[in-house]
Amino acid sequence: MRALCILALAALLTGCNHAPTFPAPSANELTLYRAAFTSILKEANHPFNIADTTDPFEPETRGDDHCLKDLEIPTTPTHTRHKLPPETFAGLPVHLIDPGTRNFKQAVKQGVLYFSEIAYNPAHTRAAFSYGFYCGGLCGGGAVVIFDLNHGQWTQSATRCNEWIS
């Protein structure tokens, strides 16, 4: 019995030392993240720190939740997360930052871009996800962006939902 307790304690303690692991997004999702970042980059034109882990998709309902409902995008939060591999942004001015590391706080001072998980309409012809740029304190902005699948290509819609700035 004592040996079993020691093994259980050892398993518990070693489990605490490991950061959670998240799977990579699908190729389709990587295409969407890259397309969104390319669009953001056109507006800013400087290197970015990007969180290497997606956040759950949690569309806020500040009275404009009809935006997603009209597009047949589910507004229920997702609880999954993915790890963005470096090749997602190959050739672009990006530094992937692990939110679980010490250098993350330093990166926030320069600004960090986050992406959420992606939600699709039932036909998988429309996708929505949020992005946020945080630069500490009351500094940041973001929105939910919409992409449409046309002839096998994802294109960003002019529609944005839940835009915010601070």
How many structural domains compose the chain? Answer: 1
The angle formed by the CA atoms of residues 50, 53 and 54, to the nearest 5 degrees, is 95
Taking the C-alpha atoms of residue 114 and residue 45, their distance in angstroms, rounded to an integer, is 17
Q: What is the span of the domain harbouring residue 98?
A: 26-165
Tens digits of per-residue pLDDT, 22-67?
A: 888 888 898 999 888 888 887 776 788 999 999 888 876 545 556 7
Distances in Å between the alpha carbon of 77 and those of 9, 52, 103, 128, 129?
A: 35, 20, 29, 12, 11
Least Cα distance to 82 among 139, 159, 25 occurs for 25
Q: Is residue 21 part of a domain?
A: no
Q: Is residue 140 part of a domain?
A: yes
Residue 16 lies in a domain: no
In a domain, 146, yes or no: yes
Q: Over the stretch 61-112, which tens digit does the pLDDT of each residue have? A: 545 556 777 667 766 666 788 899 998 888 888 989 988 887 777 788 888 9
DSSP at 123: T
Domain presence at residue 148: yes
Instruction: Please tell me the distance from the alpha carbon of residue 153 to that of residue 131, in angstroms, as a whole number.
Output: 21
In a domain, 103, yes or no: yes
